[in-house]
């Protein structure tokens, strides 16, 4: 099996993205650019508003993206955290590499397909925030680990049965290099995945110790699922996680041959301030500790869910993320003074946490606030707008909307214009969902 | 500009789909198939359950798809309806062509990007169920109409301003062949797009008559948006639509040079029985009438929304659609007797109308009903399951779920295994969203 992995292959794959042809696969791009390569189109530096782009079109702000990348780089460094931003958010190898250039240790992912994407583009350190019991995916993983000694991979294990299934599949695959695992501690009763009690964690760790093809390298969890989360409860759970690492270390569970650091990992996009607080107090263990933060939504941030939940609201002195997406659609119907419809729907906008937020209207090159305009619903291919008497909105106008939830915004677009503040599109971001 | 359109180009583009490489772009496929072409993988006739596919993976039933294609073909023929199934549902050119082979007149679409996809694969008759006022898209459309005399295109117009914007953009593009439009009648006050009153419809028709680059060819609408719909209200609205066509015809509005038929179009997936009823009563007009039904969801049907709403529930003697999707995911965590988690989330399953429905569990090659198992939520990459004491579910098990809403099921998968009842995957369906 040709694996097509490793840094050199990754650089080549990344370069090839620029040579992809602009065609029917990618929505929103200028029809008269079809047949150009992505690089050729980027070199034309077309304007988003006058360069022939068709609606709906999602734009990512070049400046805001850069700001967010820098902010989490400095934040992580200031707090002594290694950073493995969750790549499921964007699934964009170009952004994975920009995150790594901005100091990230590696990339967190959720499922084997996502690992495949990251590996195809040369990502050498992957944290899979899930138990992995799929025999076919484990065969592939094992082949990659054996073929590429520089490939660092860590995943969750949260059950004795899971450890057993992994070991069986890896043994059958003839794995020579063990798979590094961390025991996942659940965020509480009724929370998502993860082992519910410290006693069960020890049993899972025992199962790992008894598995020929697994190596225990730490503990991890996701504080974002703490039930009825508040700062106190989140801190308390993070302290449980750290205590688990300490207990495991005292019990000699990290004494495996060749292990040179202990992984302690947590951190979504709502509580990384608490993670920074509690991880700052991790005591000295028998090996250096890799304190791994996994926040992913910061890369584009948003105008809804994460705008409300971002830890920077609690620590404004440490900075502020900037919402980097704007979805442009066009008014195609204005059937009454109270109603209007644009051509962006569920296929184009995140809708799982909030509806899009009407922000600005453009007509004849003039942009103004979307006064009196509210998005009240989405069909598959339409946005429903309610308008008050204040609204000046006509068929043909472009409506700029903010979105809520980066993960379900990225996943509706396969090639996203990266636009500067004046509308100049300087690059295109390819996603793989 | 090379347009890359027309039937010969379309056949070639369709053939090229089979030559695409199986790689990181496509989730769920066997890792050891990477590097094969789609045709080579299809020729291997792998089994969905034993052939190395990774979870989550969405499968489309080959037999059920074929059944649904045949059923709507016979239904349309029996009722004297031309059929332009809504292609936004699948955005799969292979399915567009199977629909056309099964008697469809053409394909309905919602936005210019979707037209671009259909045209790239040789679809020669397109009904765009939206007003189109995007200048860049109209330039492209006009170039295609002028380059390909066999390209038949019809779109909505629902405002005087819209007609004016279209005419201006087409005139500026130097269009020589007029764009065929139908006046869209709204489904009622507060409904979606469309002209609200017959008086306004006449004004829009006047605007079209005065537009050099437009030609009025009929009337259309979408009964699926009738407020508080019931059979009586839907019938009443459809009779309004037919009366509008009759009035327009009497007023000589379809007397444009070269016009050889009048288009009357309606029909989503919830009320096509009413459309068949009312359209059967369209009186003789000055030209033959193309009675165009646009239902799209039938192609995969579903286990939720359309299972409840399908007109075949009212006319079972005319047949029954079969839900053709099953999403397979794997249990990755079983943290308590009441909870389990699989690795399929919002990225994989439709969630806008219902959550997935737990149907069957597979372990060691044995499939049994998913007794005592309910999907209670979706994270981005996880399904939350509630289990009762009856449930026999362990880490590693595959869970087969039914989905609700074909449109938001197709759009999460770019290459979908087409599997026979015994699990043999006989082809792969490529989508373009």
Which pLDDT value is given to residue A2? 59
Q: Give the residue from chain B lying closest to A168, CA to CA.
A: B396
Q: Answer whether A193 sits within 8 Å of B333, measured CB to CB.
A: yes
Which pLDDT value is given to residue A256? 81
Q: How far from the centroid of its chain's Cα atoms is residue B336's Cα?
A: 40
Overall number of domains in chain A = 1
Task: Say which of B27, B54, B137 has its CB closest to residue A134.
Answer: B54
pLDDT beneath 50: ranges in chain B: 1
**B250 domain residue, yes or no:** yes
**A338 domain residue, yes or no:** no
Q: Answer whether A31 sits within 8 Å of B116, measured CB to CB.
A: yes
CATH code: domain of residue B244: 3.20.20.10
Which pLDDT value is given to residue B120? 96
A-chain residues near B386 (CB < 8 A): none
Which pLDDT value is given to residue B257? 80
B-chain residues near A385 (CB < 8 A): none
A-chain residues near B2 (CB < 8 A): 35
Q: How many C-beta atoms lie closer than 10 Å to residue B198's C-beta?
A: 15
Q: Answer whether B411 sits within 8 Å of A347, measured CB to CB.
A: yes
pLDDT beneath 50: ranges in chain A: 1
Q: Give the residue from chain B lying closest to A113, CA to CA.
A: B27
**B230 domain residue, yes or no:** yes
Q: Answer whether A332 sits within 8 Å of B133, measured CB to CB.
A: yes
**B409 domain residue, yes or no:** no
Q: How many CB pairs under 8 A join A and B?
A: 215
In a mutational test of the B interface, the residue from A131, A172, A350, A382 whose CB has the highest number of chain B CBs within 10 Å is A131
Q: Answer whether A380 sits within 8 Å of B25, measured CB to CB.
A: no
**B243 domain residue, yes or no:** yes
Say how far apart CA B155 and CA B106 lie, in whole Å: 13
Which pLDDT value is given to residue A7? 84
In a mutational test of the B interface, the residue from A41, A116, A384, A414 whose CB has the highest number of chain B CBs within 10 Å is A116
**B273 domain residue, yes or no:** yes
In a mutational test of the B interface, the residue from A53, A182, A332 whose CB has the highest number of chain B CBs within 10 Å is A332
Q: Give the residue from chain B lying closest to A116, CA to CA.
A: B24
**A238 domain residue, yes or no:** yes
Three-state SS string over chain A comes to CCCCCCHHHHHHHHHHHHHCECCCCCCCCCHHHCCCEHHHHHHCCCECCCCCCCCCEEEEEHHHHHHHHHHHHHHHHHCCCEECCECCCCCCHHHHHHHHHCCCCCEEECCHHHHHHHHHCCCCEEEEEEECCCHHHHHHHHHHHHHCCCCEEEEEECCHHHHHHHHHHHHHCCCCCCEEEEEEECCCCCCCCCECCHHHHHHHHHHHHCCCCEEEEEEECCHHHCCCCCHHHHHHHHHHHHHHHHHHHHCCCCCCCCCCCEEEEECCCCCHHHHHHHHHCCCCCCCCEEEEECCCHHHCCCCCHHHHHCHHHCCHHHCCCCCCEEEEEEEEEEEECCEEEECCCCCCCCCCCCCCEEEEEEECCEEEECCCEEEEEECCCCEEEEECCCCCCCCCCEEEEECCCCHHHHCCCCEEEEECCCCEEEEEEECCC
Task: Say which of B1, B52, B333 has its CB closest to residue A136.
Answer: B52
In a mutational test of the B interface, the residue from A89, A379, A396 whose CB has the highest number of chain B CBs within 10 Å is A396
Q: Which domain covers residue B288, as residue numbers?
A: 124-294
B-chain residues near A339 (CB < 8 A): 190
Q: Give the residue from chain B lying closest to A141, CA to CA.
A: B31
Q: Are A376 and A355 in contact (CB under 8 A)?
A: yes
Q: Are A324 and A66 in contact (CB under 8 A)?
A: no
Say how far apart CA A240 and CA A246 lie, in whole Å: 10
Say how far apart CA B82 and CA B80 lie, in whole Å: 7
Report yes or no for ipTM above 0.85. Answer: yes
Task: Say which of B130, B131, B408 has its CB closest to residue A346.
Answer: B408
B-chain residues near A136 (CB < 8 A): 30-32, 52-54
Which pLDDT value is given to residue B2? 60
Q: Answer whether B112 sits within 8 Å of A352, measured CB to CB.
A: no
Q: Are A298 and A273 in contact (CB under 8 A)?
A: no
- Report CA-CA distances (Å) from B329 to A91, B57, B339, B376, B416: 20, 7, 15, 15, 14
Task: Say which of B30, B335, B347 has its CB closest to residue A411.
Answer: B347
Give the closest-approach CA distance of B158 to chain A in angstroms.
Answer: 7
**B79 domain residue, yes or no:** no
Which pLDDT value is given to residue B7? 84
Q: CB within 8 A of A419, min separation 6: which ones?
A: A48, A59, A60, A61, A62, A425, A426
Q: Answer whether B27 sits within 8 Å of A113, measured CB to CB.
A: yes
Q: Give the residue from chain A lying closest to B155, CA to CA.
A: A332
B-chain residues near A333 (CB < 8 A): 131, 158-159, 162, 192-194
Q: Answer whether A192 sits within 8 Å of B161, measured CB to CB.
A: no
Which pLDDT value is given to residue B368? 98
């Amino acid at each position: 099996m040709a694996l097509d992995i490793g840094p050199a292959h990754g650089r080549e794959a990344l370069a090839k993205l620029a040579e992809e042809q602009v065609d029917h696969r990618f929505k929103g791009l200028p029809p008269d650019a079809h047949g150009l390569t992505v690089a050729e189109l980027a070199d034309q530096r077309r304007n988003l508003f006058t360069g022939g782009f068709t609606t709906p079109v999602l734009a990512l702000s070049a400046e805001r993206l850069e700001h967010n990348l820098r902010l989490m780089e400095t934040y992580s460094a200031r707090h002594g955290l290694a950073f493995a931003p969750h790549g499921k958010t964007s699934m964009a190898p170009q952004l994975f590499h920009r995150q790594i250039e901005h100091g990230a240790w590696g990339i967190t992912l959720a499922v084997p397909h996502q690992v495949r994407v990251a590996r195809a583009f040369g990502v050498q350190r992957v944290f899979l925030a899930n138990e992995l019991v799929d025999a076919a995916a484990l065969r592939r993983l094992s082949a990659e680990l054996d073929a590429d000694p520089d490939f660092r991979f860590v995943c969750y294990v949260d059950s004795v049965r899971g450890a057993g299934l992994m070991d069986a599949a890896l043994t059958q695959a003839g794995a020579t290099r063990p798979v590094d695992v961390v025991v996942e501690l659940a965020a509480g009763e009724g929370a998502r995945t993860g082992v519910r009690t410290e006693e069960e964690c020890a049993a899972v760790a025992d199962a790992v110790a008894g598995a020929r093809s697994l190596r225990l390298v730490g503990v991890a969890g996701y504080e974002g699922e703490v039930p009825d989360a508040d700062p106190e409860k989140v801190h308390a759970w993070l302290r449980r996680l750290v205590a688990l690492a300490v207990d495991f270390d005292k019990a000699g569970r990290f004494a495996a041959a060749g292990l040179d650091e202990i992984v302690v990992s947590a951190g979504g996009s709502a509580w990384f301030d608490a993670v920074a607080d509690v991880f700052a107090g991790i005591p000295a263990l028998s090996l250096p500790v890799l304190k791994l933060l996994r926040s992913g939504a910061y890369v584009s941030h948003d105008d809804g869910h994460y705008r409300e939940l971002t830890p920077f609201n609690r620590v404004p002195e440490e900075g502020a993320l900037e919402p980097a997406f704007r979805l442009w659609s066009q008014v195609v119907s204005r059937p009454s003074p109270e109603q209007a419809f644009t051509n962006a729907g569920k296929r184009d906008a995140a809708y799982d946490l909030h509806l899009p937020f009407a922000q600005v209207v453009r007509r004849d090159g003039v942009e103004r606030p979307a006064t009196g305009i509210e998005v009240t619903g989405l069909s598959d291919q339409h946005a429903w707008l309610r308008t008050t008497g204040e609204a000046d909105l006509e068929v043909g106008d472009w409506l700029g909307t903010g979105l809520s939830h980066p993960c379900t915004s990225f996943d509706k677009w396969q090639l996203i214009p990266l636009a500067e503040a004046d509308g100049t599109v300087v690059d295109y971001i390819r996603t793989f969902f």
